[in-house]
Amino acid sequence: MSGHAQEPFAKLPVAPKPPLRRFHQARWDEPIIFEQSRPGRRGIAVPAAGVPAVEPPETVRRARPPKLPEMSQLHVLRHYVRLSQENLGVDQAVAVGQGTCTMKYSPKVNEAFAAAVGELHPLQPVDTVQGVLEVYWRLERMLAEISGMHRVSLQPASGSAAIYANVAMIRAYHASRGEGDRRDQVITTMFSHPSNAACAKTAGYEVVTLMPGADGHPDIEALRAAVGPRTAALMITNPEDTGIFNPRIADFVDLVHEAGGLACYDQANANGLLGVTRAADAGFDLCHFNLHKTFSTPHACGGPAGGACGVVERLEPFLPAPTVERGGDGYRLDTERPQSVGKTRPFLGVTPNVVRAYAWIMALGGRGLREVAEIATLNNNYLMDKVLRIPGASAPWGRDRIEQVRYSWRELFEDTGVRSEEIGARAADFGVHYWTSHHPHLVPEPFTLEPTESYSREDLDEYAAILAHVADEARRDPGLVRGAPYNQTIHKIDPTPLDDPAQWAPTWRAYTRKHLS
């Protein structure tokens, strides 16, 4: 075995573990599932039905069968288990590195409740689905209580879909007052989630963005200059992606109201706020939650996740339809809503996630929700204290943070030339995920950490130790860090296809067309 490092036999008792994990990611070198397809291979041999075959009419029959992979059950299972191993998520790792996205633990018991509603058909008669309608109704009341809003819609399939529904309601509200054409601007801030700007622009609004002032809060003088008769709404996150809470938020809302605009609160991530303060308390007219960021449902990567839009009473007529209503004889769907913005997706919502969020809140209760916010804030401040002890790490605008922090490696970069994303790639060699920031990078060489309530003190110590180790490596051997990752499923990827329409391929069909033909 000359030429290979000799590892000694593992012996009992097990040797003490080193401070940092000797991690190595699974590397299955797994082909795409379409490449594994074999003609005629089946997952289930369906027995003959015993009734005459019926040919579907020409009008609904597709000309060619769909190009689905033909696989056996074992091979389908094995494929997806392998992919799940080549991953870094909450269930394997200390997933505090995806700030603003909030990777918290989803209790597994809630999967059993979610599975139970999988039996339902979305077109079942209302009197046969009273139980699930009650869950919708009760979750709506809980989120109304948490936000202080009058009504809440659970129809949107994701956080951004909820923001879009809010923009649609803002538009419908101004149109109902004959001001739809005049009010053509939406104001947001540079550190609000960019979906606010994106949704407003998609809905046809001109977007005016406010920059942070010297204290890191959005500049209220800029807002004063921006509001006016063209203002449809302010769409703002607070605390922003920096983790800084804007203490003058009620003044922001007042300024917009004085100009006749609406104020819309992005509470996608309410982890620092639950039971502490509410959208209604600052005078907001609308808000939204991401069920996956705050209420522990799966992220689902663009849907089906779960979003919830809350509105004050004067905006109730514009809510997505149908709404779930409670009457003397049970629950019903109200589809007669002439001013509604209509449906944001088919049927009621992402029911399994509604059930998960309901179960999560019920398990915690009111005091438990407040404790979530307190622990999330405490965890974040504990982690910040550890991170800011690492030479080269900093947090612009001071240490007054709620549930997350956007940090900077500016000093480390200037000393070593190692960039933030290279630190992240090296951190992955120790089994953790890491993220930089939305664009543009206002904070130089940024990274954004959000520990939430899920993680233990030992988890946070481990994460901070990994960052400290990698930052130290950057000073001792920058080439080592820049060459990372070494212990991952794949090495570096070329990022250019992500921005190039001629190359990007979100589906097998697109990949085949652009790269294999």
Q: What angle do CA 303, 304, 310 make, to 5 degrees?
A: 90
Site residues for other proteins, window 395-414 (CB under 8 A)?
Answer: 413-414
Strand 323-327 and strand 307-311: the pairing is: unpaired
How many Å separate Cα 331 from the centre of its chain?
31
Residues 104-123 that bind other proteins (CB under 8 A): none
Among 206, 258, 281, 334, binds other proteins (CB under 8 A): 206
Which of 2, 6, 59, 496 is in the footprint of other proteins by CB under 8 A?
A: 496
Q: How far apart are the first and last CA of the chain?
A: 44
Q: Are 282 and 250 in contact (CB under 8 A)?
A: yes
CA neighbours closer than 13 Å in the CB half-sphere of residue 471: 25
Single out the residue of 214, 336, 458, 507 in contact with other proteins (rule: CB under 8 A). 214
Q: Which amino acid is at 422?
A: E
Q: What number of other Cβ atoms are within 10 A of residue 335's Cβ?
A: 10
Q: Applying CB under 8 A, does 300 fall inside the site for other proteins?
A: no
Nearer to other proteins, 230 or 278 (CB): 230
The stretch near other proteins (CB under 8 A) out of 29-37, 129-137, 194-202, 310-318 is 194-202
- Strands 446-449 and 151-153, by their bridges, are unpaired
Sign of the alpha-carbon torsion through 403, 312, 262, 353: positive
Range 453-492, binding other proteins (CB under 8 A): 478-479, 482
Q: How many residues are given for the chain?
A: 517
- Binding test (CB under 8 A) with other proteins, winner from 163, 197, 255, 256: 197
Shortest distance, CB of residue 141 to other proteins, whole angstroms?
32
Of 442, 451, 450, 459, the closest CA to residue 408 belongs to: 442
Closer by beta carbon to other proteins, 138 or else 482: 482
Nearer to other proteins, 306 or 485 (CB): 485
Strands 231-237 and 262-266: parallel
Q: Judged by CB, which is closer to other proteins: 254, or 421? A: 421
497 binds other proteins (CB under 8 A): no
With tokens 């579907």, the residue in question is: 56
Binding mask 416-445 for other proteins (x = CB under 8 A): -x-x-x--xx--------xxxxxxxxx-x-
Q: How far is CA 148 from CA 23, 159, 239, 365, in A?
A: 46, 19, 18, 17
414 within 8 A of 424, measured Cβ to Cβ: no
Q: How far is the CB of 467 from other proteins (least distance, A)?
A: 15
Q: How far is the CB of 99 from other proteins (least distance, A)?
A: 11
**CA 36 to CA 29: how far, in whole Å?**
13
Contact flag: residue 222 with other proteins (CB under 8 A): yes
How many residues make contact with other proteins (CB under 8 A)? Answer: 50
Helix (H, G, I), strand (E, B) or coil at 177: coil
Binding mask 68-107 vs other proteins (x if CB under 8 A, - otherwise)? --------------------------------xx------
Here the tokens at position 333 are 């769907």
Question: Minimum Å distance from CB 495 to other proteins?
Answer: 5
Q: Which residue from 149, 223, 253, 359 is in contact with other proteins, where contact means CB under 8 A?
A: 223
Which phi and psi (to 5°) does residue 257 adopt?
A: -65, -40
- Part in contact with other proteins (CB under 8 A); list of ranges 125-133, 146-154, 213-221, 387-395: 213-221
Among 165, 226, 249, 255, binds other proteins (CB under 8 A): 226
**How many Å apart are CA 117 and CA 132, to the nearest integer?**
8
- Report residue 413: phi and psi, to 5°: -65, -45
Please identify which residue in 21, 75, 150, 201 interacts with other proteins, judged by CB under 8 A.
Answer: 201
**CA distances in angstroms from 425 to 115, 405, 430, 437, 492, listed in the order given:** 36, 20, 10, 15, 8
The residues near 63 (Cβ < 8 Å, ≥ 6 apart) are none
Contact criterion met (CB below 8 Å) for 106 and 291? no
Amino acid residing at 484:
A
Which one of residues 205, 265, 284, 430 is an interface residue with other proteins (CB under 8 A)?
A: 205
Name the residue nearer to other proteins (CB basis): 147 or 437: 437
In this complex, which beta carbon is closest to other proteins, that of residue 181 or of residue 458? 181
Shortest Å, Cβ 408 to other proteins:
11
Q: How far is the CB of 222 from other proteins (least distance, A)?
A: 4
User: With CB under 8 A as the contact rule, which of the stretches 195-203, 305-313, 361-369, 386-394 interacts with other proteins?
Assistant: 195-203
| Interface characters, 140-179, with other proteins (x: CB under 8 A) | ----------------------------------------
Residue ranges binding other proteins (CB under 8 A): 100-101, 190, 194-195, 197-198, 201, 205-212, 214, 219, 221-226, 413-415, 417, 419, 421, 424-425, 434-442, 444, 478-479, 482, 493, 495-496, 498-499
